[in-house]
Every structure is written in structure tokens, then in C-alpha cells.
Structure 1
Amino acid sequence: MEKTQAISEWYDSIYAALKADSGLRKYVTNIYNYLPKRVTIPYLRLRMVNYNNLHMLSNFAIKARFSCDIYTYHVGSVFAITRHINLILKSMKDSNNGTILESNFAMDQHDEILHSTVNFDIFLKGGNNEQITAKN
């Protein structure tokens, strides 16, 4: 499977899992996969931050970083939303085409709105027959 397609499938799967989680829906008004123009707080947005090709001996892999931006008014909501995100990620942790490596959390405040970010990395390993191509 091509790595960019695998990244897209991971993104779609995570987005669908976030949207489907009834526990998470109790805490957020909407879950977006794009930057909304008009919002009602609290909301969550999933985005892909970047990805890197990792070169190995005879294989290659991709590490993709995803980010969930959380906007709320109350710190209790931030922790509840983060807990649900981590539970969703844990349930998806080991797939046959990738692994969620790590996650981290940051929070800051803009006036009365709390902005939090949950970042997590997904590692997609190349198969044994995938060779590294070097560019000169």
C-alpha cells in the first residue's frame, strides 16, 4: 500500500472515530477536519501537521504527525476531551499498516478561550520489497 494513501486512511479513520464517539460528543459542539469560519465553542479540529520520510537499511517508513486542536471555555472540558481522544487513539493503537507512537499535550489561553493541542505521531513502515530511492 502506498504510504500517502495509508496516511489518508489513518486520517479518515481517526476523524470518523472522533465523530462517532458519543462520549466525546457530550463535550464538543462540532468536530471539524478543516478550519471553520463560524464556530460554536467548544469544538475540536483534526489536522495533519507534517510527515517525514524515514530511511532505513532496505526499507523506508513515514512518520506522520496529527494534531487535534481543542477550543473550550473550561479546563475541566479540556481534560475530558483529551481523555476521550486518548481512549480513541488507544483503541486504534496497533493496526496492520501503522502504529501510533506517542502523544503530547499543550494548552494556552486567549482571553476567556482555552486552546489545547493534542499531537500524536503515526509510524508507517515500508514492506521488505520497498527500496529506498536516492535523489542526486
Structure 2
Amino acid sequence: MGDLELWEQKLRDKGIRWTRQRRIIIEVLLASTRPLSAQDIFAKLEGDYPKLRLSTVYRNLNSFKDNKIVRALNLNGNEQKFELINGHHHHHLICIKCDDILPLDCPLKEFESKLKDDTGYTILDHRMKIYGLCPNCKNH
């Protein structure tokens, strides 16, 4: 079973009908190495799907977010970006000039465990964003 079929099953398991619009939005998110805004997704699709509306992309992304299919991120104070929730916990390195986003593997597992032991807290989640200049922006 391929990635697209797995996501189709995830939607069906949550009672969400698998439509052409949902399929193409999932395809764009699967192909991306970085979180995308609704505008980004719409721009990638509008040439091939002229009847698709930006409101349809927003409505589906909000449904996906409510059903824990995608995660909405506010990375640089700009519009929300979305990424599929695939079970791989990671963080983001964000360029403050061009808004490029690089996913980073989480380095905090040991720290989280120590924090739990030291404080008695049950750690539910953590999020980290690191800001800087990408190599391209640094050189210009």
C-alpha cells in the first residue's frame, strides 16, 4: 500500500469521505518537504484544477486539522502553514528573511525524560522553533 492509500484509509477511518479535492490536497502535502500555507497549496493546484477554489482548500485543511490529519503551525508570525501528522516528531529551522523552513529531528527526548524525572511532571508535548538566516539569505 502506498502513501496515498494510507492517507485515504486514515481519512476513511475518521469518517471523512475521500474526494478528489481531498486527494489532491493530500498529494501536495505528501510531496512537500516543508509545511505549506493554504495559498501555497492552492497555487500548486490551480493550473491543473481551474474549478478548485481557495475556500475549498481552507475548508478541507480546517477539517483535516480538526480530525488530526494535519498540524497547523504559526512559524514566523505569518499565515498558518500545514503539514501532515505522520507520527514523526520534529521541529523547524526558519529563515527570518525568506521564510524557508527546514524540518529538524527532535534532540529533546533525553531532556524531556530528565525533566519528567526531576519535576514529576507528565510531559504532554513540546515545540521548538529556531530562527536564523539560511545560507542563501546570509550571502546576499
Would the TM-score normalized by the shorter structure come out above 0.5? Answer: no
Class of the TM-score when normalised by the shorter of the 2 chains: 0.3 to 0.5
Provide TM-score, normalisation by structure 2: 0.32
Structure number with the bigger relative contact order (C-alpha 8 A, sep ≥ 6) is 1
Higher strand share: 1
